[in-house]
Amino acid sequence: MDANLADALKFEGTNFLLVMIGAVVRQVLDAILLALLPLGYIISRVWARMRLRTEPPGVVLITGAGGEGLGAMLALQYAGPSTRKLILTDIHRGSLEPVAEACRAKGTAEVVLVEADVCDAAAMAKLADDHPDVDLVIANAGVAAHTVSGASAAQPTPPVTESSANLLSINVLGVMNTILPFVDPMRQRRSGHLVIMSSMGSYLPTAASPEYHASKACVRVYGESLRVLLRGTGVNVTVICPGFVKTPMTDLAASRHVHPLPLVVSGEDAAMRCKRGIDANMAVVSFPSPLLWITETVMSWPSTVRELIIPCPPGTQASRLARLVP
């Protein structure tokens, strides 16, 4: 046998062996990670309960608090005698009135309603100037692709070129416009809490809405990074990553799916989980747990494997590409 050929075969054999060893090691590590997920969840819950804050926030600001969405449910969770002022914002003031009534009925002394567009940086900065005593800011305002583009059950796939930019502006810049004006005032008094509403969809890519998942991944990483940056200043940051929450927005999303959305939680239950995590000063609050475990497990696999199991519903690829590529 030619010496060069022998050397080549030897190299290929060694290379194949190393690849196989690497694959086995990765599978073992994945199995260990999967086994540790429930233990990690239990430890995080125990630690969270040990860190429950003693004093509730006196002044709370929530964006996107109108209608029947998660923002409204959060407003009701924080409404009560312990909250002396509740500031609720929405792009449509009329949608805030019923929420404000319910909050006053629960004993909140002062409920302030503000019609505000989170994309307007100057307006959000003025809001912070008008209310420098805010203890807790919840940047909840956001949209899904089917809401910002005007989709409906009758017209589920409208043109998306312009609406993608609008979605990113609301979901990303809107969050920054909301929380950044409060950073310096909170740092100066060495107390305060900033909360960013992300999504479980920030972890796992799907074909349904690339721009939505990208926007939520952006604010999740931004919030986690901001928490590290503000460590030791007295300002806390929490990122919320809910799964499917039953709201008018998800009802519309469900109408576009052939199969029902998995593990949907009620708006009230979701708001309770959010508040519990915020009160415990958790870095990230993700729920429901089964969906989180599934998501983290899938994301621990190699990308080539994920591509095989993440579904792309029939017709989705053609319709999405037709809308995304002019």
Active site residues: 212
Single out the residue of 171, 189, 178 nearest to residue 128, CA to CA: 178
Single out the residue of 79, 37, 84 nearest to residue 59, CA to CA: 84
Distance in angstroms (rounded) separating the CA atoms of residues 326 and 323: 7
How many other C-beta atoms lie within 10 A of the C-beta of residue 198? Answer: 28
Answer yes or no: are the C-beta atoms of 149 and 160 closer than 8 Å. Answer: yes
Which residue, chain included where needed, has tokens 């409208």?
158
In sequence order, what are the residues at sequence separation of 6 or more whose Cβ sits closer than 8 angstroms to the Cβ of residue 121? Answer: 173, 177
Sheet harboring 192-197: ordered strands across? 110-115, 85-90, 59-62, 136-139, 192-197, 235-242, 284-287
